[in-house]
Amino acid sequence: MVLSLKGVYQCASETSFIHMSISRTMYTHEEDGEDELSDYITQLNIHESCQESFLKSAASLAAETDENLRVLAAIDQGEVLVLTDLLKGSGAFREWDSRGCLPLHRAAVQPVLEVLKTVLRSATQRLSLEERTAAAEGETPLTLAVIAGLTHNVRTLLEHGASPHNTNGKKESPLMLAVKAGSYEMTHLLITYGAWAEQVCWRNWTATHEAAKLGNTDILMLLLRNGGRVNHKDVTGATPLAVAAEYGHAHIAEVLLSCGSRVNSQACNGESVLLDAAGSGNTACIQLLLDNGADANLPNATGHLPIHKAAYAGHYQAVKMLIPLTTKKAIKEAGQSPVHSAAEGGHRRCLELLLAHGFDVNYRMDARKSETYRDMRRTALYFAVSNGDVECTRILLASGAKTDLDPLCCLLVAVRSGCYDIVKLLLASKADVNRYFTVVSDTLFPTALQYCLKDEVMMRLLLNNGYDVEKCFQCHHDNASDTGDEGQRKIPFCEFMSLCCVLHLSGKVVLTLLDYTSHVHICSRLGAILEKQSEWPEIRRVLGTPRSLGHLCRLRMRRSLTLKRLNNLEIMNSLIIPPGLQRFLLYQELDLYTSTGS
């Protein structure tokens, strides 16, 4: 008998689905094939959802009575007359279904009010008013009705004695859920029946916090008139005013301030209300707070000021408002300039604004701040370079940013990340191409080369701009007199290229390096490596053939001019050096970056 009832229940669900499918098909008859396919998939999903919601497995059905199945079917289909007839079997109204719900839970979300009223007529249902669903959310009939937005069901449950204070499994009260839904009517109804405006959920969050987040003035005023507290803090220490500021609700902030909310209240992490407003970028909210005495120099636990947060978020107008109010002393104590924040966030306009107002482009973060980064970065330029932000890098360099103020120089960062445009900008700003970084590997040759062994474009970019190639062919292997030299403690190029991860690149790299040298000596160790590479015949030919006069003249002239003059655009673009000679001296025929149109 149970299984036959299941069949009837399933048939009813499928019949409803078929009617919906026919209607949907007629509606989409004129749509294209893609829309029809999308509609079909939607119908299929709905069908599966219906089956999952209403059909039980044979095992679970066996545990339910025939009357209970009739009750569930009648509730879901809104059959009031059937439910009325079933009231005599009151025990069926106390049985849990496979989803962990009582009939009253289902009736609470049924839009037909008479269904809920009929279920409540069962004397046993009064005992179920505070029962929670077995699911993780643990909803009561009242919280289910509130979530469904069924005000008439909420009223009926309250009239029958449902408590407005009992929370769901997430510790959310009916009042909290009503505010979250933005329903003034349900909020007013719950308060009328005694709901506490100051009742908190699991994170100490109140309905007043939720109203401030929502930005609903009417609901907020209703809560405040009925016991809502403007300075109550949640588990993070945030007040409703801080929430309003975070979400940029100036009208809510104005109400809360007029009711006595503390404008300089700080959360557990030290974040002030003004700092929250700066993060939202709402200038009306920021101005309101400032007019009410908010302190622009109040740092959070990490030392950040409101101007830092506004600059990081790219709120131009907010930064503009905070610049004249932020003191140099506060920035010094913070250990970080807002220029760092703007560069880190990648906001060009904020960066230009701060620099135009005299903020130091070379301001270095203090050790405390720097240590929070693994690379120990110190400058705003490093942030821009590490982000691969060409525009911010260009702005900072144009404003006089130095390229060598960080433990790991910016040029090495750009080379390692393959940012050709940034490398060009840094080299044009006199970045040292022969800089060493010995923390990872203490090499005899300048560090930049090891970051671009697989990238010939980047390698030639460095070589064309004065990379010291001679250092790559210096070692002690064939010179016994050098064994006690300091260079012995450093890793020479030949040993570095013997590593298995780069061994296969040795031939191509050496062949490229030979374009920038006169005659060099290949040590026995490097020679043994190169003999196994396909480029060895060509390398041997270059080494065994006298270099051309033009090649030797270029090397000589570059050495005489020095790298400093070669990188000086005023000298190179002057009439003293003809354009043809300039291109020749700068290896422009070997500049793969320019020739590929990068």
| pLDDT (tens place) for every residue of the chain, 598 residues total | 333 444 444 444 444 333 434 333 433 343 445 555 555 554 555 445 444 444 433 333 334 567 778 888 889 998 888 888 887 756 778 888 888 888 999 999 999 999 999 988 875 666 678 999 988 789 999 999 999 999 999 999 999 999 999 999 999 999 999 999 999 999 999 999 999 999 999 899 999 999 999 999 999 999 999 999 999 999 999 999 999 999 999 999 999 999 999 999 999 999 999 999 999 999 999 999 999 999 999 999 999 999 999 999 999 999 999 999 999 999 999 999 999 999 999 999 999 999 999 999 999 999 999 999 999 999 999 999 999 999 999 999 999 999 999 999 999 999 999 999 999 999 999 899 999 998 878 899 999 999 999 999 999 999 988 899 999 998 877 665 555 455 457 899 999 999 999 999 999 999 999 999 988 889 999 999 999 999 999 999 999 999 889 888 988 888 888 877 777 777 777 777 888 888 887 787 777 776 555 4
The answer as to whether 327 is a domain residue is no
User: CB–CB of 175/197 below 8 Å?
Assistant: yes
* Residue 284, amino acid: A
The answer as to whether 547 is a domain residue is no
* Residue 214, amino acid: L
Specify the number of domains making up the chain: 1
**Predicted local distance difference test score (pLDDT) of residue 86:** 82
The answer as to whether 575 is a domain residue is yes
Query: Please, where are the H alpha helices in 121-216?
Result: 141-148, 151-159, 174-180, 184-192, 207-214
Vertex 24, ends 21 and 28: CA angle to 5°? 140
User: CB–CB of 273/264 below 8 Å?
Assistant: yes
The answer as to whether 179 is a domain residue is no
The answer as to whether 592 is a domain residue is yes
Strand, helix or coil at 70? helix
What is the DSSP secondary-structure string of 560-571? Answer: HHHHHHHT-HHH
The answer as to whether 414 is a domain residue is no
The half-sphere exposure of 268 on its side-chain side, counting CA atoms within 13 A, is 5
Q: Which residue has the tokens 């209970």?
A: 68
Element (H, E) at 353: helix 348-356
The answer as to whether 590 is a domain residue is yes
Query: What residues does 266 pair with on adjacent strands?
Result: 272
Residue range of the domain that includes 567: 558-597
* Residue 377, amino acid: R
Contacts of 100 (CB under 8 A, 6+ apart): 133, 134, 135
The answer as to whether 372 is a domain residue is no
